[in-house]
A and B are shown apart, each in its own frame.
Chain A
Amino acid sequence: MNGISVMWLREVKRFFRSKSRIVGSLGQPLLFLVALGYGLGPVFQQAGQGNYLEFIAPGIIGMSIIFTSIFNGMQVIWDRQFGFLKETMVAPVSRLSIMFGRTLGGATVAALQGALVLVLTMLVGFRPISWTGIIPALVVMLLIALLFSALGMVVASLLRDMQGFQLIMNFLVMPLFFLSGALFPLNNVPPALLLVARFDPLSYGVDALRLFLLGQGVFNITLDIAVLVGMIGVFLALGSYFFSRIEV
Chain B
Amino acid sequence: MDAIITVEHLTKTFGEGPAAVQDISFTVARGSIVAFLGPNGAGKSTTIKMLTTLLRPTAGTIRIAGHDPATNPDAVRHAFGIVFQDPSLDEDLTAFENLEFHGVLYGVPKETRRARITELLALVELSDRKDDFVRNFSGGMKRRLEIARGLLHHPQILFLDEPTLGLDPQTRNHLWSYVEKLNREEGITVFFTTHYMEEADRVAQHIAIIDHGRIVAEGSGAALKKQTKSNSLEDAFLMLTGNEIRAEAGNSLDRMRNMRSMHRGARR
Residues of A within 8 A of B (CB): 2-3, 5-6, 10, 13-14, 17, 79, 82-84, 86-94, 160-161, 247-248
Contacts and interface: CB of A to CB of B under 8 A. Distances in A.
Interface of B: 49, 52-56, 73-75, 77-78, 80, 82, 84, 86-93, 97, 101-102, 104-107, 149, 264, 267-268
Contacts, number: 70
Contacts of A93: 74, 105
Contacts of A92: 73-75, 77-78, 105-107
B84 A2 contact: no
Given A10-B93, A91-B106, A92-B74, A86 B88 contact: yes
A160 B104 contact: no
A7 to B, nearest CB: 9
Contacts of A6: 101, 104-105
A244 to B, nearest CB: 11
Nearest to A84: B90
Given A2-B105, A10-B101, A82 B77 contact: no
Given A84-B89, A86-B54, A247-B54, A2 B104 contact: yes
A68 B115 CA distance: 38
A90 B54 contact: yes
Given A2-B104, A247-B56, A161 B93 contact: no
For the complex of A and B, list the 4 residue pairs with the smallest distance between their C-beta atoms, beginning with the closest: A83-B88, A92-B77, A92-B74, A91-B105
Contacts of A2: 104-105, 107
Contacts of A94: 74
A84 B106 contact: no
B106 A83 contact: no
